[in-house]
Structure 1
């Protein structure tokens, strides 16, 4: 059995099987519902069910509270329909412009830039190309149907191999392999491009780019893309880490600040040791943004990194700094450990 799904205000329609999530059906039909993690942790795909009923697979209550669910809110990545549905959600223009492909790829380089960060370079098959938007990600297809997601860290205009920034999660199914047994010329398989984290080109508002740790990867792609198209929009990048070594491409960011007229860079470190002689900003990265921009009513924010950073930034920017809620765009890097947290 399948159900008819109607999206308002666009009026787009698609069918959804009874055991399929609304988001999976939308992606299959090329309908641009917003989404990020696809596993019920980040709330990027949240919308309202105006008509019909759904049930939710396992998800994090911080992404959809019981009160929100009772009020008709839904996480479409976890929502399974029990009837025809009418949804209210703002679609993302351009999210389905490029085909989602499954393909093999060869590891060409593994470069360690920090004790727990490796930059992986991937070569696509000679007869294949991957069209994507700066900020999107790919999913590696692993054993037993498991998947792991990583943002593409170079802009589409680079025209070369794909680069990914991979942080070691001790005990992690994939990252343990990357940091121990994986070697150059190994073959992997991935699916992509995925996600709706990319710059909305219909705006000329200044952009606050907020990154924590390897959340810098899609932000790097966005900066390179905006530079390639000679954007006139102002960009300020706040990159946070616990220690100075976590800002593993700090030199590149400082180079951007020297070379790109409308770009500023603010590194922030929360737990620098005395012998590291850190002279820059200290504390939480999203707090630094609030100190510098107390009124965000005329801004867009693009945030990527640990869920706690993304969630804190959205809450505080909207509640305390007048940021319009629909001008906060995010990609929370949810690990398997994050998914096990209540």
Structure 2
């Protein structure tokens, strides 16, 4: 089953097939549909339904406000067309996929523990893995009602490997299923790549990567991508990782493997819980990463290309600090919100 989608007010149209959401169908067809999380939380993919019918996957998705609902707006990431549609949305050239997302089957080929609750799952498909450093993909896991989005930690490769660093979330069905039930050689469906917070190499600015929790994965991928592209021959890369307690800190081992570690690459761990730090005998940085970032960069903040990923409160605090307090140009700030 396929449906024709027409964008009101312009000549653009595309085709939706199968159970693709409106957003996935648009991106698969190279349409610059605005989006971020693609999971119903951020609200970036709002659109007006002019004609036709859709099946809404998550009617209560927090990405819509009550005002949006009164006006009849929908989220493209939560709508599956059930007829031909006419929609109204302002497309964004920045959202046109650099690499067209696709679905593939991949089997689990390895697992590596990173911390007590963070683990890297390595999958391999039959075709080359093509994505940009910092992007994410969705994984459909048997027994979980909807796909989950996770960032890749490795780089594009001809071997077809997709590495995901995933944190076990208490009562999180997908993460617990991966940790407890998925075994070597089990298969999942991967759909990607997606995401706009990928590595930029069109400027000479130093690079700052800020991560917390499983936000480690895209930041490690960006650091690896910068090193592989030779960007760190002329630039510095500051890597800041925040954890609640010292046992949550990670990332240094992956950075140590890169050329330039200790020279052009520096690692700055930060613990947010002072009591945990004291009990563990931690003598390093204590506080929230968004508070510590200005201490590191000072008046050089506006000279950086800044990437960050982590829990919503962390990313929100960093975004507000950079844009409101320091007035960093938006084009120098790169992040994808997860919910």
TM-score by shorter chain over 0.5 = yes
Cα shift at 1:166: 1.4
- Residues 133-152 of structure 1: matches in 2 within 5 Å? 133-142=132-141, 143=143, 145-152=145-152
Give the whole-Å Cα distance in 2 for the aligned partners of 1:168 and 1:31: 34
Equivalent residue, structure 2, for 1:24: 24
> Does structure 2 retain, via aligned residues, the 8 Å contact 1:209–1:236?
yes
Distance 1:226 1:70, change over 3 A: farther
Using the size of structure 2 for normalisation, the TM-score is 0.79
Q: Deviations over 1:119-143 (max 9, x none)?
A: 1121223xx2221111122212134
1:332 to 310, 331, 337: 337
Q: Map residues 1-342 of structure 1 onto 2, 5 A cutoff.
A: 4-5=6-7, 13-15=12-14, 23-43=23-43, 45=44, 58-60=60-62, 77=77, 83-85=86-88, 87=90, 89-92=92-95, 95-98=97-100, 100-125=101-126, 128-142=127-141, 143=143, 145-156=145-156, 159=159, 161-231=161-231, 232-254=234-256, 256=258, 259=261, 261-271=263-273, 272-295=276-299, 296-334=301-339
135-144 or 146-155, larger mean C-alpha shift = 135-144
Give the deviation of 1:144 after TM superposition.
Answer: 6.5
3-state secondary structure, aligned to 1:140: strand
Q: 1:164 to 1:88 in 2, by over 3 A?
A: closer
Give secondary structure in 1 for the equivalent of 2:210: strand
Structure 2 SS opposite 1:156: coil
The alpha-carbon deviation at position 293 of structure 1 amounts to 3.0
Q: CA deviation at 1:26?
A: 2.1
Give the RMSD, CA atoms, in angstroms: 3.6
Give the secondary-structure state (helix, strand or coil) at the position aligned to 1:121.
Answer: strand
User: What is the CA–CA distance in structure 2 between the aligned matches of 1:263 and 1:107, rounded to whole Å?
Assistant: 31
Distance 1:308 1:179, change over 3 A: same
1:99-156 deviations in whole A, cap 9, x for unaligned?
Answer: x23222221222222221111121223xx22211111222121346511121111112
Q: Is the 8 A contact 2:212 2:309 kept in 1?
A: yes
Structure 2 unaligned runs (5+)? none
CA contact (8 A) 2:28 2:102 kept: no
| Contact 2:7–2:89, Cα closer than 8 Å, also in 1 | yes
- Do the aligned partners of 1:110 and 1:183 also contact (CA within 8 Å) in 2? no
State the SS of the aligned residue for 1:87: coil
Q: Show structure 1 runs of 5+ residues with no match.
A: 335-342
| Residue pair 1:48, 1:89 contacting (<8 A) in 2 also | no
Find the aligned partners of 1:129 and 1:239 in 2 and give their Cα distance.
30
Structure 1 residue 316: Cα displacement: 1.4
Aligned residues: 322
